[in-house]
Amino acid sequence: MQSESIYRARDEEPGPLADVRVVDLTIARAGPTCVRQLADMGAQVIQVGQPGRPDLGGSDSNNLHRGKRSALIDLKHPDGLRAFGRLIDGADILVENFRSDVKHRLSIDYPTLSARHPRLIYASLSGFGQEGPYANRPGLDQVIQGMAGLMSVTGPPGTGPWRAGIAISDTASGTFLTQGILAALYSRERTGRGQWVHTSLLEAMVNMMDFQAVRWLVDGVVPGQRGNDHPTLFPMGAFATQDGLINLAVLDGWLRFAEAIGLPELGDDPRFSTLEARLKNREALRGLVEDALSQRTTAHWIEVFAAADLPCGPILSMDEVFADPQVQQLQLTRPVTHEERGRLDLLRHPVTWSDTPSSVSGPPPVPGRHTREVLLEAGLTAAEVDRWLESGAIAEAPINPNRRQT
């Protein structure tokens, strides 16, 4: 009898952050990426939105905001600020991604809230950091890709800068902030105090440049574009086959590779016998490799290279990704049911715990659906909630949801 997969859905079990409460002030992509990870680890998330300021819609929002409850609170209204303070009193973590000065103008900055709630972990994500000449500028992914050097090394040589195909600085900064929050939670277990944790798209993206950044810092080399080739190893990149392309990497298996493509004589050819020689004679070697690979299909070569223990793989479109048998084995999606949109298949968190699993605990919330619920839980009376709804300090549905964000 086949054993149950270690990747099976366990959404009904409590996650590692099951007793943690998060107040989420984030919008767009980077901040919600952080909070989504906390929600997937089991944290109880209250998303606080502005009644008249809609966030991203569509599939992106469905994936970023799943597993949360939603309250609409006007932080510029005195009673809205009071309602928000009551939510903070019961929270472990606050996450915000305003420009650096906005939280101070709203009187919800770290010193103010920490004085009220010393155990609070206050997490901030901005475009450029909390201080410096660009601190109050708006920042978004492609701008940061350019400023962090990513676009200068992406794309074919001599073609000018190219953006990466995903919002990498959003994802990176959100993930780094999650790591910081988890470390702050661990620290609070020792000290009893929360702290301010912050990062930015720019900090995260420069850090993600990693290998290319230290080529400049340590070696004094300004990296350029290499297209689909690895900048310092060859053959490593995308190569044409009979029916398409294959990604492959020859690291310590040069002789095995030469044998696998039917050209064992290349193993002893002085033009290619060392890594340095292969880099120097890159284009001559590329021609020989692609001539050999063009004789057979991508599927054939994947079998051959896998048998030779050489890293390789096809280049798939998104529909092909989710049809791939290994992706299916990993069970990377989870279905949820949204009250307005029906069934949604969303990405699960990519880390698996044996005892306290992550989960996709539910669909994204309808904005404002839980305003009354979470404020009553926070200790407000029904009369206070009704009065603040009447005054516009809080709302149970967006105000003018079709208004364009400014």
Summarised one tens digit per residue, pLDDT across range 174-192 is: 999 999 999 999 999 999 9
- What pLDDT, in 10s, does the model give residues 148-172? 999 999 999 999 999 999 999 999 9
Same structural domain, 81 and 178: yes
User: Does residue 115 share a domain with residue 31?
Assistant: yes
Q: 33 and 136 share a domain?
A: yes
Distance between CA atoms of residues 48 and 85, nearest Å: 12
| Domain boundaries, position 171 | 21-212+332-395
For residues 254 and 288, state if they share a domain. yes
Indicate if 49 and 97 belong to the same structural domain.
yes
Whether 281 and 206 map to the same domain: the answer is no
pLDDT of residue 403: 44
Same domain, 189 and 338: yes
User: Is 312 contained in some domain?
Assistant: yes
284 and 357 belong to one structural domain: no
Residues 82 and 193 in one domain: yes
**Residues 158 and 66 grouped into a single domain:** yes
Same domain flag for 339 and 312: no
Length of the chain, in residues: 406
Residues with catalytic function: 170
Domains identified in the chain, total number: 2
Cβ-proximal residues to 129 (8 Å cutoff; 6+ apart), any chain = 100, 135, 198, 200, 202, 203
The domain boundary, picked from 268, 292, 316, lies at 316
Task: Please count the other Cβ atoms lying within 10 Å of the Cβ belonging to residue 39.
Answer: 28
In a domain, 327, yes or no: no
pTM over 0.85: yes
Which of 236, 166, 173, 165 shows the shortest CA–CA distance to 203?
A: 173
| Helix/strand/coil for 49 | strand
- The reported pLDDT for the residue numbered 57 is 73
pLDDT in tens, 311-327: 999 999 999 999 999 99
Residue 310 domain flag: yes
Tell me, what CATH number does 260's domain have? 3.30.1540.10
Return the CATH number at 58.
3.40.50.10540
